[in-house]
Structure 1
Amino acid sequence: MIAVENLTKTYGPQRAVDDVSFTCAPGTVTGFLGPNGAGKSTTLRMICGLTPPTSGRATVSGVPYRRLGNPGRHIGVLLDASAQHAGRTGREVLALAAITLGLDTARVPGLLARVGLDDRAAKRRVRAYSLGMRQRLGLAYAMIGDPAVLVLDEPANGLDPEGIHWMRGLLRGFADRGGTVLLSSHLLREVEVVADRLVVIGNGRILTQGDKEELLGAAGTMVRTTDPTALEDLLQRMGLTGTRSADGSVLVPSDPQTIGQAAAAAGVVLLELRPAGAGGLEEMFLRLTAGAEPEGANR
């Protein structure tokens, strides 16, 4: 289990991560989402002991990463697929990892096969690998210690459609066997398919989190009208507050039938009336992060 409690990281006057809290339970895949510069990578680095928090803490199975004995046996980490020695072969990379963790190197061939790297690829130098091959090797590296927890940052980057489908099955199978997966990715469709829970971050703060089905199903109603002022007046009379999106539609925290009947009775012409969840994760993500800072604002 991963527990993040009130994590904050400041760089001078800038808060890259601001009072972030969430948990990732065994048997689940948690999608960790946010625009560039939202604070995702900094949060992951704090979980993995690479960046000390200014305040708060993160634990894996109740223990901070830096206090884990032989951490690779507890948590597998893939934050940068290119962070491998370019002059070593794929087999050498995994064999050295196994030796470092005190494991038998005999597991290396089977692990290479599991991530789709054949004997020919295993003998090639990492410098000759494509990005997709490095991702596969990075996943093998993360899993070599049979950890109960995986923390992955953009693991599908560089994979072709077949590779993305393969990774989806790999992560789903890992969680279904009781593992814990924290997955950061810009591929929203893939996260929507594989994730059980969602955590969305923007400007260093949590924007929303919870069960995927509940978040997508309880998003409210998207309404668009020819007369925005009349709609706003109607919502005020109903005691509701709408949130306007960039395309002029309004998210209303109510069901479509209630809004449609009220609009008809008030003579407000609607051009669009649908459940907000119909647009899936992409629409929810874009709505929540509409005011996010530009790329590079946070680390």
Structure 2
Amino acid sequence: MITIEHLTKRYGAQVAVSDVSFTCQPGTVTGFLGPNGAGKSTTMRSLVGLATATSGTATIAGRAYQDLPNPGRQVGVLLDAGAQHAGRTGREVLTLSAMTLGVGRQRVDDVLGQVGLAGRPAGKRLGNYSLGMRQRLGLATALLGDPQVLVLDEPANGLDPEGIFWMRGLLRGFADRGGTVLLSSHLLHEVEAVADQLVVISGGRIVAQGTKSELLADTGGTLVRGPDRALLAKALETAGIGVSPGPDDALVADAEALAVGQAVAAAGVVVTELRPAGGAGLEDLFRSLTSSDSGNGQQVQEVLA
């Protein structure tokens, strides 16, 4: 199990992450989402001992990564698929890792087959690997020690559609066998397809977390959009209808569609979209949580309540 508790990391005066807390349970895939610079990589680096937290803790099975005996046998990590010697072959990279971890040569053959690099690809030098092949090798390295936990940052980067589908099955199978997966990715549709729970970070703070079904459920209310957002909000508030930020430039009105339509019609405000809110998918949720004009994290979480 992964446990992040009140994690804060500062670089001088800059706060990279602030009071971040969440857990990843065995048997689940956790999608860790956020825009560039939100604090995802800092959190993951702190978890695997590559950064030292200013305060708070990040543990795996109740222990800091550096305190785990032979941590590569318990935690598989892929943070940068390009961090390998370009002159070595795929098999050489895995063989050296196997020697470090204390696993047998047969395990090298096993994971090469598992990630689709058996045969000729294993004998190619990494300098001749495509980005997708390097990603597969990175996953092979993460799986080499037969760990119970995977920490993966953008593992689908560079994979073709077939490769992405393959990776989805690999991660789902790992979790279904009792493993714990923390997955950071910008491929929102793929995260939505494989994740059991979601953690969204923006500006170094967690703005939403919960099971996929909870966060993507129909939240009620009516989504309304028009060319003048401020005028639209004023018309609804004048009619006594509460409003909250919605996806992109939309608003979520706390009323049925008929009441919303009557209110804006009475005010003479132009509407371009009017429909039930919620249940629109991970992409809309992500935009509403991380958009610069959607308010702070607490305000947005109230939309989900």
Q: TM-score, normalised by structure 1?
A: 0.90
Match of 2:256 in 1: 259
| Structure 2 SS opposite 1:169 | helix
| Structure 1 SS opposite 2:4 | strand
Work out the percentage of aligned pairs sharing the same amino acid: 62
The structural deviation recorded for 1:172 is 0.6
Pair 1:280–1:245, CA change in 2 (3 A) = closer
**Aligned CA-pair RMSD:** 2.0
The structural deviation recorded for 1:41 is 0.6
Match of 2:107 in 1: 107
Match of 1:175 in 2: 175
The structural deviation recorded for 1:14 is 0.9
* Distance (Å, rounded) in 1 between the aligned partners of 2:123 and 2:227: 64
Pair 1:21–1:198, CA change in 2 (3 A) = same
CA contact (8 A) 1:225 1:231 kept: no
The structural deviation recorded for 1:231 is 4.7
The structural deviation recorded for 1:264 is 4.4
The structural deviation recorded for 1:271 is 3.5
The structural deviation recorded for 1:274 is 2.6
Pair 1:244–1:198, CA change in 2 (3 A) = closer
* Distance (Å, rounded) in 1 between the aligned partners of 2:153 and 2:232: 45
Higher relative contact order (CA 8 A, sep 6+): 1
* Distance (Å, rounded) in 2 between the aligned partners of 1:186 and 1:163: 16
| Structure 1 SS opposite 2:95 | helix
CA contact (8 A) 1:4 1:59 kept: yes
The structural deviation recorded for 1:259 is 2.4
* Distance (Å, rounded) in 2 between the aligned partners of 1:4 and 1:236: 44
Match of 2:137 in 1: 137
CA contact (8 A) 2:236 2:264 kept: no
1:288 matches 2:289: yes
The structural deviation recorded for 1:112 is 0.2
Match of 1:97 in 2: 97
Structure 2: state its 5+ residue gaps: 294-305
Match of 2:165 in 1: 165
Match of 1:29 in 2: 29
Pair 1:104–1:35, CA change in 2 (3 A) = same
1:1-299 superposed matches below 5 A: 1-220=1-220, 221-225=222-226, 229=231, 231-235=233-237, 238=240, 240-243=242-245, 246-247=248-249, 249-252=250-253, 254=254, 258-266=255-263, 268=265, 270-291=271-292
The structural deviation recorded for 1:219 is 4.3
CA contact (8 A) 2:248 2:287 kept: no
* Distance (Å, rounded) in 1 between the aligned partners of 2:119 and 2:10: 46
* Distance (Å, rounded) in 2 between the aligned partners of 1:166 and 1:130: 17
Q: TM-score, normalised by structure 2?
A: 0.88
